[in-house]
Amino acid sequence: MSRLIADIRGLSVHFGEHLIVDGIDFSIQENEILALVGESGCGKSTVALSLLRLLPDKGCTVAGKVLLGGRDILTVPENELNDLRGSAVSIIFQDPSTALNPVWSIGSQIVETLRRHRNISAKAARRQAIDLLDLVAIPDPHRRIDDFPHQFSGGMRQRVMIAMAISCNPRLLVADEPTTALDVTTQAQVLELLDKLRRDLSMSILLITHDLSLVADWADRVVVMYGGQICESAPTRSLFSAPFHPYTQCLLASIPPLSGGPTHRTGRLFEGPSAGVVTASAAGCRYAARCDRAEASCLSAKPAIFSVGAGSHLAACPVVKPSVSLAATVI
Amino acid sequence: MKFSSLRRGLVMSGRVLLSIPFRALPTLLAAIVVSFLLLRLIPGDAVDVMASQVALSNESDIAKWRHDLGLDRSIGEQLLDYIVNLARLDFGYSHIYNMPVASLIGERLPSTCLLAGTAFVVAIILGILAGVISGYAKGGALDQLTSAVLLLLYSVPAFWTGLLLIEVFAVWLNWLPLGGSQSLGLDLSGAARIGDRLRHLVLPAVTLALFYIAVDARLVRASMLEVQNQDYIRTAIAKGLDRHTIVWKHMLRNALLPLTAVAGNRIGAMLGGAVTIETVFNWPGMGRLAFEAVLKRDFTVLTAILVLSAFFVIAANIIVDLIQVWIDPRIEH
């Protein structure tokens, strides 16, 4: 039985009137890569930011619990929070070209993180920063350490971000669309690196993405979000082989097959407003407005999450519930 | 330890310095030509002024006088002469002050440097402080108070502030002198002499600085607010850095770039003389010299001041380029 690293309970986020994240629960186990997937505006990045309490104070209300090592990130005092940030939990962002400070050398940005959380001399921190750059495969690290962010390529900058994020051995690394701004070859290299690091440093990774192929290749478990709610949560293999929630099924059907050729029409997700727009008013299941299997009851109450078959496969859709036992026996 | 960034800085500085003959010198030459020609376009020359002063009306004497001063030659010849003399640091001879312009300026320039330098340093330091505090506590009571005071300082003309300060501190309270740069008729030495100079410096320097504090603080505040929303500030917060480090290390260095450009041009202009302030406080600097030269139609002095101001502005621009190269590693020429 693996240990729990982070436990998110009833997390809700309001931006003014709008409910962006609607009371979600999930947990992250030791040493796993958990993928949080969903389309733009489904609230996945908001979840990522709230794990480090990085959402703006103004106009933004956060409720629920984010438990990390027994402490609730959302309520710890500011100074304790800053001790945890960068040390127990780190984050890397989508766009490495803006996430590093352009007027300080990358070395000084890594060194300051180390010296903030570790009681070490400037010299020792510098040596450690060189080792970290070596670890994330920056060639010639003792020379490049004094270079500035603009002297690196996009993929290299993301490696520097990763070096900085893992510098104090965090238990959890939040990777908010870490490869979206990178080209496909670099994407694979960065994820390979993250996968290697989580094994070598025994840390857990919350991988936020909308790219299902990344999920299939690298994640141990997947949480699917739609309109601020969790639709389905399952081990990766189980999710891809037997998706239960109508949204997940639709999402998987939208992946273009390699064999179809350029004229092959894949399943389209839907026409009409995006998930973000739907969020504002709906009371029941957020997906109901687009779901071709929706019933009257879907609109009135928020669907409960229940176990569907093998392992820890969970889904939140009352309509597909009857088929569950059948599906479970098939597996 | 930071060898490669030091080397980069030196290389970039070298490039800035190498550009001087190609960029700065032609600009200076253009400024000299324009200053020289503009003032010669005004009808009447130095001989007319002097002739009217001594009530001389003999046409042949005036012509001889003009010939002696070289004013009867073509304007091109005069200009060429002027430039050649400038290269030898000879700014010409003022027949109105009856002394070489170079020594006239040499008398006034130190006073202006003292006034401008003090006001400049005070304005930069307090401007950055006020801007950071204001941007730091955006929307709070402190920000609103600072912003209101800054707006007031920004809107009030400097000569009025100067007169108000004189009224309060020199006339009512009698703490500080009314004007001038030193007490006349006192034979002071050592510390007493320095103290006397400083007492005279306070009011004009404060007046000059107040306006620029407002300019600098508003500029710094605006750039701090802009920098605050950058992704790399979120990264700094996510690393667990304290607010102090984030504001003074990560935000300020990025927010300083616009200020260096504005402040650099300003110090150049300030060394050319703060005409209003020097006049209000009777400060014997370049600004008052320019004011007097206009009244006396002393074109030789006026041209020299214009050329010198242009030189200071150009020199300040080179220094700004050098500073920016060191602050922002992204600048490549």
Give residue-wise pLDDT tens across range A155-206.
Answer: 899 999 999 999 999 999 999 998 887 888 888 888 999 999 999 988 999 9
Ramachandran category for residue B328: left, alpha or beta (phi over 0 → left; psi -120 to 50 → alpha): beta
**Letter for the amino acid at B119?**
A
The DSSP string of A23-75 is EEEEEEETT-EEEEE--TTSSHHHHHHHTTT-S-STTEEEEEEEEETTEETTT
**Can you tell me the distance from the alpha carbon of A113 to that of A3, in angstroms, rounded to the nearest whole number?**
27
Shortest distance between the Cα of B7 and any Cα of chain A, in A, equals 11
Residue in B110, B34, B92 with CA at minimum distance from that of residue B271: B110
Shortest distance between the Cα of A326 and any Cα of chain B, in A, equals 46
**Letter for the amino acid at A204?**
S
Lowest mean pLDDT of A2-11, B11-20, B198-207, name the range: B11-20
What contacts A153, CB < 8 A, 6 or more positions away? none
Interface contacts (A, B; CB < 8 Å): 85
**Can you tell me the distance from the alpha carbon of B105 to that of B112, in angstroms, rounded to the nearest whole number?**
10
Mean pLDDT over residues B231-252, rounded? Answer: 91
DSSP A178: T
Task: Let me know: does A28 contact A89? Beta carbons within 8 Å.
Answer: no
**Can you tell me the distance from the alpha carbon of A162 to that of A172, in angstroms, rounded to the nearest whole number?**
12
Task: Let me know: does A113 contact A167? Beta carbons within 8 Å.
Answer: yes
Q: What angle do CA B123, B20, B299 make, to 5 degrees?
A: 70
Residue B22: CB atoms within 10 A of its CB come to 8
Task: Let me know: does A91 contact A48? Beta carbons within 8 Å.
Answer: yes
What does the pLDDT read at residue B302? 87
What does the pLDDT read at residue B13? 78
Using CB atoms, pick whichever of A82, A98, A161 lies closest to residue B242.
Answer: A82
What does the pLDDT read at residue A326? 44
Work out whether the CA dihedral A286, A290, A293, A296 comes out positive or negative. Answer: positive
| pLDDT band per the 50, 70, 90 thresholds, residue A328 | very low
Mean pLDDT over residues B284-303, rounded? Answer: 86
**Can you tell me the distance from the alpha carbon of A50 to that of A228, in angstroms, rounded to the nearest whole number?**
13
Q: Is the pLDDT of residue A147 over 60?
A: yes
Q: Do B240 and A101 touch (CB under 8 A)?
A: no
Using CB atoms, pick whichever of B5, B240, B245 lies closest to residue A87.
Answer: B240
Radius of gyration for the alpha carbons in chain A, expressed in angstroms and rounded: 21
Q: How does the average pLDDT of chain A come out, rounded?
A: 84
Dmax (CA) for chain A in angstroms is: 66
Q: Which is higher by pLDDT, A258 or A292?
A: A292
Task: Let me know: does A146 contact A129? Beta carbons within 8 Å.
Answer: no
Contacts of B242 in chain A (CB under 8 A): 82
Q: Is the pLDDT of residue B333 over 50?
A: no
Partnered with residue B74 across adjacent β-strands are none
Q: Do B231 and A99 touch (CB under 8 A)?
A: yes
**Can you tell me the distance from the alpha carbon of A205 to that of A174, in angstroms, rounded to the nearest whole number?**
6
Long-range contacts of A245-248 (CB under 8 A, 24+ apart): A245/A287, A245/A315, A245/A316, A245/A317, A245/A320, A246/A287, A246/A291, A246/A292, A246/A293, A246/A317, A246/A319, A246/A320, A247/A287, A247/A291, A248/A224, A248/A315
Residue of A101, A108, A109, A148 for testing the chain B interface, max B β-carbons within 10 Å:
A101
DSSP A85: B
End-to-end CA distance of chain B: 25
Residue in B317, B324, B328 with CA at minimum distance from that of residue B20: B317
Q: Is the pLDDT of residue A282 over 60?
A: no
Contacts of A80 in chain B (CB under 8 A): none
| pLDDT band per the 50, 70, 90 thresholds, residue B160 | confident
Q: What angle do CA B120, B123, B126 make, to 5 degrees?
A: 145
A143 close to B (CB below 8 A): yes
Look up residue B256 and give its two tokens.
Answer: 């300083």
**Can you tell me the distance from the alpha carbon of B205 to that of B117, in angstroms, rounded to the nearest whole number?**
9
| pLDDT band per the 50, 70, 90 thresholds, residue A317 | confident
What does the pLDDT read at residue A131? 92
**Can you tell me the distance from the alpha carbon of A146 to that of B328, in angstroms, rounded to the nearest whole number?**
14
Using CB atoms, pick whichever of B3, B232, B330 lies closest to residue A146.
Answer: B3
What does the pLDDT read at residue A252? 85
Task: Let me know: does A70 contact A256? Beta carbons within 8 Å.
Answer: no
Q: Which is higher by pLDDT, A17 or B236?
A: B236
Shortest distance between the Cα of A280 and any Cα of chain B, in A, equals 26
DSSP B56: -
Tokens 């669907």 -> residue = A303
Q: Do B328 and A103 touch (CB under 8 A)?
A: yes
Look up residue A207 and give its two tokens.
Answer: 């991988």
DSSP B138: T
| pLDDT band per the 50, 70, 90 thresholds, residue A113 | very high
**Can you tell me the distance from the alpha carbon of B255 to that of B222, in angstroms, rounded to the nearest whole number?**
8
Residue in B86, B89, B102, B112 with CA at minimum distance from that of residue B31: B86
Tokens 């970290």 -> residue = A132
**Can you tell me the distance from the alpha carbon of B233 to that of B250, in angstroms, rounded to the nearest whole number?**
7
A150 close to B (CB below 8 A): yes
- As a whole-number percent, the residues of chain A with pLDDT over 70 amount to 88
| pLDDT band per the 50, 70, 90 thresholds, residue A271 | low
What does the pLDDT read at residue B133? 85
Q: Is the pLDDT of residue B1 over 50?
A: no
Mean pLDDT over residues B278-306, rounded? Answer: 86
DSSP A171: S
What does the pLDDT read at residue A264? 53
| pLDDT band per the 50, 70, 90 thresholds, residue A126 | very high
**Can you tell me the distance from the alpha carbon of A115 to that of A43, in angstroms, rounded to the nearest whole number?**
34
pTM: 0.79
Residue in B40, B33, B23 with CA at minimum distance from that of residue B299: B40
**Reported ipTM:** 0.86
Q: Do B232 and A105 touch (CB under 8 A)?
A: no
Mean pLDDT over residues A194-220, rounded? Answer: 91
Q: Which is higher by pLDDT, B47 or A269?
A: B47
Q: Is the pLDDT of residue A125 over 90?
A: yes
Using CB atoms, pick whichever of A82, A103, A143 lies closest to residue B329.
Answer: A103
* Closest chain B residue to the Cα of A107, Cα to Cα: B2
End-to-end CA distance of chain A: 23
Which stretch of DSSP H or E encloses residue A11? strand A4-15
Mean pLDDT over residues A256-281, rounded? Answer: 56
Task: Let me know: does A165 contact A80? Beta carbons within 8 Å.
Answer: no
Which stretch of DSSP H or E encloses residue A213? helix A212-218
B103 backbone dihedrals φ, ψ, rounded to 5°: -75, -30
Task: Let me know: does A194 contact A169? Beta carbons within 8 Å.
Answer: no
Which range of A63-77, B72-86, B124-138 scores highest in mean pLDDT? It is A63-77
**Can you tell me the distance from the alpha carbon of A39 to that of A268, in angstroms, rounded to the nearest whole number?**
13
